[in-house]
Structures are given as C-alpha cells and as structure tokens.
Amino acid sequence: MLKKPRVLCVIGTRPEAIKMAPVVLALRARAGLDLVVLKTGQHGELVDTILKGFGVAAHHELRFLERRIPFEDAARKLAESLTGALAAIRPAVVLAQGDTTSVVATALACSLANTPFAHVEAGLRSGSLKAPFPEEANRVVASHLAALHFAPTRAARANLLREGVPEHAIQVTGNTVIDALLMTAEGVDSAPADLDHGRRLILTTVHRRDSFGAPLVGVCRALALLHDRFPDTAIHWPVHPNPNVGPVVERLLGGLPRVLLSRPLDYPAFVAAMKRSTLILTDSGGVQEEAPALGKPVLVLRDETERPEALFHGVARLVGRDPDRIIAETSRLLEDDDAYRRMSKGASPYGDGKAGARIAAAIDEFVRSPEALPAAG
C-alpha cells in the first residue's frame, strides 16, 4: 500500500493553538493525509488547555522552554531542535501560523531541510520592523522562506505581491481565528463574571513586548481613572503570565473594588467574557480579529496595526498607550450611545469560518502534486 503523505503542523503559543486548531481538524478529516502535530513548548500549559478544548492532541513535543534561555537565543535553539525533528518525522509539507519565534524557527528549519513550508496567516505587515517587535521581522522572514502563503485577507495578499511573492503561491482563505471563534461561541453563554451585578464590562488584555514598562503603566493608570469615573462599569483583565505584566497590573489595579484580575482564561471562558463585554481594550492581534465578529467595539492599545481591516469598517480604533487618549476614547464609547452603536454594528472582515477547510484542501492538493501550487484566491 502507498504511504500517505505526511503533513506536519507546528504549534508554539496560545494564539497558534487557537488559530491552528481549525486547520488541524480540517486536515484530520482528510483520510488521505498522515497528520502529525508537534508542540514546540514555547507556551506550555496555555497551549495544552487550548488544544484539549478543541479535541486536538500533539504527537510530539520539543523540550524547549523559552523562559529559561535568553530571548535572543530562542529562535536559533528552537531551529536546531526542529531540524532534528524534521529529520525524524520526514514530512511532505510543514504548516505553522503567525509571527512567533516558533514560526520563524520552523520556516528556517524547513528551508535547511529543503521541506516545503506553508505559512498560515501570511502577509500581515505593520510596516515597521520595530513594532511589533519581533513579530514583524518574524513574519517577513517566514514569508521569504515559505512555499505556500495562506493570506487571511486581500490586503494581506497585496502585501505579499508587493514583496514579490508569486501570485500562484498565495491563496486568500480568511483567518482561521474566525473558524475557532464560531466553533466556540455557540457553545458558551455569556455568563456574568464574579463582579457583574448588571454592570457594563470593560475586558482588557495586554501582552506585547513593546507594551512592557511605561506603556503598561499608562494603560493601568487610564483604567484606574475610568474605574473611578464610571461606577456602573467593571473591568476584567485576564493577566498574561509574562512576568513583565502581572506585578505591574497587580500593583496599580489590584486593590480596586470593581477590577477583576484573573489568570488567563481558557478559550471558551475568554469567548464568553468577550460576548459579555461592553467594549474591549487590547494589544492582542487575535482579539482585534475576534471582537468585530462578536459586535464588540475594540480599542487597540497600539500605535500601528497589521490588521487594518477593522479600522476601515469603523469597528476598531487605534488609541495607543497614552492614558489621556485611552480615557477619552473609552469615555466616548461609554457616554455616547451613537458612537457606541456605530462601533458595535458587527463586521467580520477577517473571515467566514471556513478558512481551515480551504487550507486543508489546498494542502491536500499540494502534497499530491507539489509542482502545481494552488491557484490564487
């Protein structure tokens, strides 16, 4: 009997677990493929919980813990481990999603092993290698090394074309985060948080390297003032485990009566919190994509974004990390019903929930005849 072509999915962090789960499920449904899932260990427990929630189990795990080694060494060390894993697994094609150290290391290891690399969520660009750092550089490098580019939107495809990626190697699929969101949102109710009592809820997350230090302090100061100004409002912040975040947030917001600082939520609980929220303040990429699909206004705590589609639809705004600006923009949404309505009209510029199936179909086609790359979307 002929051996089935082996497809390797590499997953490093929480957002990769969420965004790769629909791809893994769609690949698994294709009987002609031998699917292998590998965790790099960049995020440990967070990834396990998410994958379990989607009924996905990893076949391999690298013993790689980023926190124990300097950030500058992480990509190189991980690429070394992945090179060994590729030699053992011998996949026909490798998929990884997004812009993390795990992704850039996977792209590099594939290039060295002469194994085709397929990039999921390809073509996002902020235009600055410094912000977000190091994600923008990771994306650019991954694009240069990829054989297949699954672009979530037409704007992402245009970025790739501008950089010289051949048209036939790009397919516009939608973002797989919308698949994950739709799979999850139906099953969860928007149960009130502990501090609810019918209050309006501001949901906040911050985790980016370029938010650490003074910008994070600015966000906390703004939230403290908003807490005092709007007594009918509560704040829920599931705090990212990065050690640069927790102590600062705890010190500046910990004692306030209507602020709930929790551990990171599992995905269904976080989706429930988004559904329950009045508005969302975040520096997260994935949350910027999910909030509009749930009809929640999102104020982006950054000066730039590689996800401009929601800005064009008027359902997201860039507010930076300056406390005065955050206070003004949040107050406007809490005080002005028309402004709130305009931003909560609901839009899903990032996908229709079928991205995973499109990617699996393209991969199936590719492994059967790799010389015939999938047609452009």
List residues near ligand UDP by CB under 6 A.
Answer: 14-15, 18, 177, 205, 207, 238, 264-265, 267, 270, 284-287, 290
Q: Before 238, cis peptide (omega within 30)? A: no
Q: How far is CA 239 from CA 231, 265, 332, in A?
A: 22, 9, 25
Which listed residue (119, 139, 157, 207) is catalytic? 207
Which listed residue (43, 66, 119, 121) is catalytic? 121
197 has catalytic annotation: no
227 has catalytic annotation: no
Q: Would you say 50 or 170 has its CB closer to ligand UDP?
A: 50
Q: Would you say 47 or 93 has its CB closer to ligand UDP?
A: 47
In whole angstroms, the minimum distance from the beta carbon of 209 to ligand UDP comes to 11
Indicate the Cα dihedral angle 81, 130, 114, 122, nearest 10°. 110
In whole angstroms, the minimum distance from the beta carbon of 284 to ligand UDP comes to 3
Sequence-distant (≥ 6) Cβ neighbours of residue 266 within 8 angstroms: 49, 50, 53
Which listed residue (66, 135, 179, 289) is catalytic? 135
Which listed residue (240, 258, 276, 307) is catalytic? 240
In whole angstroms, the minimum distance from the beta carbon of 210 to ligand UDP comes to 11
72 has catalytic annotation: no
Distance CA 294, CA 296 (A): 6
* Residues 28-56: b if buried by 16+ CB within 10 A, e if exposed: bebeebebbbbbbbbbeebbebbbebbeb
φ, ψ (nearest 5 deg) of residue 276: -75, -20
313 has catalytic annotation: no
In whole angstroms, the minimum distance from the beta carbon of 283 to ligand UDP comes to 7
Q: Would you say 7 or 18 has its CB closer to ligand UDP?
A: 18
Angle at 269 between CA 263 and CA 272, to 5 degrees: 130
In whole angstroms, the minimum distance from the beta carbon of 4 to ligand UDP comes to 31
335 has catalytic annotation: no
Q: Which of 101, 103, 132 is nearest to 285 (CA)?
A: 132
Helix (H) or strand (E) segment spanning residue 119: strand 117-120
Which listed residue (14, 16, 43, 99) is catalytic? 99
Q: Would you say 15 or 174 has its CB closer to ligand UDP?
A: 15
317 has catalytic annotation: no
Q: Would you say 19 or 258 has its CB closer to ligand UDP?
A: 19
Amino acid identity, position 84: G
Catalytic center residues: 99, 121, 135, 207, 209, 240
